[in-house]
Chains A and B, each alone.
Chain A
Amino acid sequence: GAVVSQHPSRVICKSGTSVKIECRSLDFQATTMFWYRQFPKQSLMLMATSNEGSKATYEQGVEKDKFLINHASLTLSTLTVTSAHPEDSSFYICSARKMGFEGPYNEQFFGPGTRLTVL
C-alpha cells in the first residue's frame, strides 16, 4: 500500500494565528513530498516541493516566509501557515513519492487534505 495521512483534517482559526498541518507517509518512506492548495471550484496549485533534509523549493508567487515547510524525516513533512488571514482559507493537500522507486513513473500518493478556515 501507499497511504498518506494529514492532520488535522479541518481547522478553524482566528486571523493572525499560525496553523501547522502535518503530512505523513504511513507505510513507505518519502524523500519528496509536495504541498498543494485548492480554492473552491479550482484546481490544485502546487505551492512547494519538500525534500527530506533540505530546504523546500517554492513555486513562483508563494511566500516562503508565510508558508513554512519542514521535512524533518522520511515520513513527515509539515506546513505552517504563519499569521493566517482569511484569504489563506483553502484546502491544503500534500502528496508523497516513494523513496528508491525505479519504475518509469514515481507516482505521487495524495493525502486526504486539510480544510483551513481563517476567521
Chain B
Amino acid sequence: EDKVVQSPLSLVVHEGDTVTLNCSYEVTNFRSLLWYKQEKKAPTFLFMLTSSGIEKKSGRLSSILDKKELFSILNITATQTGDSAVYLCAVTSNFGNEKLTFGTGTRLTIIP
C-alpha cells in the first residue's frame, strides 16, 4: 500500500521566516509527487515533481524531489500571513488510474 508521511505535523513561525516542509513516501512504481495548499476548502495545486534534483519554483515557494531517498521538500521564504494553511503532499503511481495518495499534511501558521 502506498504511503506518504509529512513532517512536521504543525509549524508556527513569525512572518518573514523561511520554512521547510518535508514529505517522504513509499510507492509501488512511482510516477509523480505533488504539493497542494489547503486553506479551508479545496486543495489548490502548487507543484508536480517527477524527476530528481530539478527544483520547481513559483515566487517564494520552491520544491525539489529526491527519488533515491524517496523524499521531497517544500520551501517557503519570507513567509507571509497568507501562507498560513495546511500543505499536503501526494503521490501517484503508474497503477490505479493515477489516483492521489495524500499525506497527513503540515499545518503552517504564520504569526504577524
Write the residues of chain A forming the contact surface with B, with a CB cutoff of 8 angstroms. Answer: 4, 32, 34, 41-46, 49, 57, 93, 95, 97, 104-108, 110-113
- The interface bits of chain B over 101-112 (1 if a CB of A lies within 8 angstroms of the residue's CB, else 0) are 111110100000
Residues of chain B at interface, number, CB under 8 A = 19
Q: Which of A41, A44, A49 contacts B43 (CB 8 A)?
A: A44
CB <8 Å contact, B104 and A113: no
Q: Give the distance in Å from the alpha carbon of A41 to the alpha carbon of B88 in the complex.
A: 12
A104 close to B42 (CB less than 8 A): no
B45 to A107, Cβ gap below 8 A?
yes
The CA-CA distance from A108 to B102 in the complex, in Å, is 13
Q: A43-B88, A57-B97, A105-B48 are in contact. Are A112 and B103 (CB under 8 A)?
A: no
In the assembled complex, which residues on chain A have CB atoms less than 8 Å from the CB atom of B48? 105, 107
Interface flag for B68 (CB, 8 Å) = no
Kindly report which residue of chain B lies nearest to residue A60, judged by CB atoms: B1
Q: Known A49-B97, A93-B42; judge A43-B32 contact (CB<8 A).
A: no
The answer to whether B99 and A113 have CB atoms under 8 Å apart is no
Report B69 CB to chain A, min CB distance, Å.
Answer: 22
Listed A/B pairs (16) with beta-carbon separation below 8 Å? A4-B42, A32-B97, A42-B104, A43-B103, A46-B99, A49-B99, A95-B100, A97-B98, A105-B32, A105-B50, A105-B98, A106-B98, A108-B100, A110-B43, A113-B41, A113-B42
Q: Is the CB of A43 within 8 A of B42?
A: no
Among B41, B42, B99, contact of A34 (Cβ-Cβ < 8 Å): B99
User: Whole-angstrom distance between the alpha carbons of A105 and B97 in the complex?
Assistant: 12
